[in-house]
Amino acid sequence: MSYQLTAEQRERYRVTSMRSSARKQQLLFGHREDAPMQGVQLAERFDPNDLMPPLDANDLTTLSLFTGGGGLDLGFERAGFGHSASFEILDICGETLRINRPNWSVRAGAQSGDVCNVPFTPFRGVDVVHGGPPCQPFSIAGKQAGAADPRNMWPEFIRCVLQTNPRAFIAENVPGLLDSKFESFVRENIVSPLHDRYTIFKFKLAAHDFGVPQARRRVFFVGFRAMRDAQRWVPPTPTHGDVATLFGPLLPRNLTRRSLGLPDIGYDELAPTLRSGFTGPRNTTGVLNSKAALKVWNQLNVWPNGVQSTRSKAAAYTTENGHFRMSVDDCALLQGFPADWHFSGAVYQVLGQIGNSVCPPVAYVVARQVARALRGE
């Protein structure tokens, strides 16, 4: 996306940027990470692990494509699946995966992590293939070029499924993929190559319906090779919400300020969808994705820009309007990553991994339902 700015706008942004940079240097000069945190006193934070109680090993194995920061992989692990390998083209994501799970087989980087160059037949016999092909070709935030976009990696995902012949596959993407504009793309590039071998289900899930304190919707494709497994498939049903359902009362939604442990200001709401730090005209240290989102962040008294590497630095670098400044750990929490999952890289790289990931609690509920179908539970 290009930004057409007038000379006056550029000058105003330049002055603001210089003032912000000078203020940051002044506030952080001499700052020590072990210094006591000043300002906002934080209460106990929400723990995403509570949404993903670890299940017993189910003897089912997974192969992960487009692994990124590990959201799908973590959710499937917590649901009892074993890990065969992960493929990810970005080296920094590979570092994240390795520091969290040294025992995993991680193929990362342009040489070993590029799925376009991988023969998948050695993984034939894996139970489940999962991944989130790049969403930029279908996102409303982009040009929605679909098949014409060089980042369209659906053919490689389909090739992997055909070569490995898993019992099931799971693919995640942005809701825009189910728009009428891409109806022929879905039919010709996803359903048609697989419909002779798999029964395929398409559905949307909202992360906040499963306890994640963020308004984030995604589409899932789930396919089963055996008809008996497909007949046992039941999509995840919401666990959190504002009203009761036919399945019983729901837990209250987890909201932003309460989840971050911030004081009650008389207003709380779901966090807007976090923007990936890998998107935009430059490497960004903010998670703001729209003007509408900025209004929500302002009402929450949470600042969505200038995210800091640690909570200590975020507390030391106070905002001019007095709003709470987030750290990468705060953003990870709002995405549903537990505190014991650590990210490698600069702030924008961490935000890129967080914003591109499937929310682990959402991955968990999908994985749990897939396991039940495959195991006949």
Q: Where in the sequence numbering do the catalytic residues fall?
A: 135
d(CA 178, CA 135): 12
> Rounded to 5 degrees, what angle do the CA atoms 190, 192, 195 make?
100
The tokens for 201 are: 């289900």
Cα 316 to Cα 18, 151, 251, 310: the distances in Å are 19, 39, 35, 10
Which residue, 218, 274, 206, is CA-closest to 242? 206
Answer yes or no: are the C-beta atoms of 96 and 116 closer than 8 Å. Answer: no
User: Which helix (H) or strand (E) segment is 75 a member of?
Assistant: helix 71-78
Phi then psi for residue 3, to 5 deg, are -120, 120
The tokens for 189 are: 């590039």
DSSP, collapsed to helix, strand or coil, labels residue 220 as strand
Please report, as a single letter, which amino acid is at residue 215.
Answer: A
Answer yes or no: are the C-beta atoms of 127 and 168 closer than 8 Å. Answer: yes
The tokens for 267 are: 């207003």
Answer yes or no: are the C-beta atoms of 113 and 153 closer than 8 Å. Answer: no
d(CA 67, CA 89): 9
| Sheet hosting strand 106-108, strand order edge to edge | 106-108, 82-88, 61-65, 128-131, 168-173, 217-224, 199-206
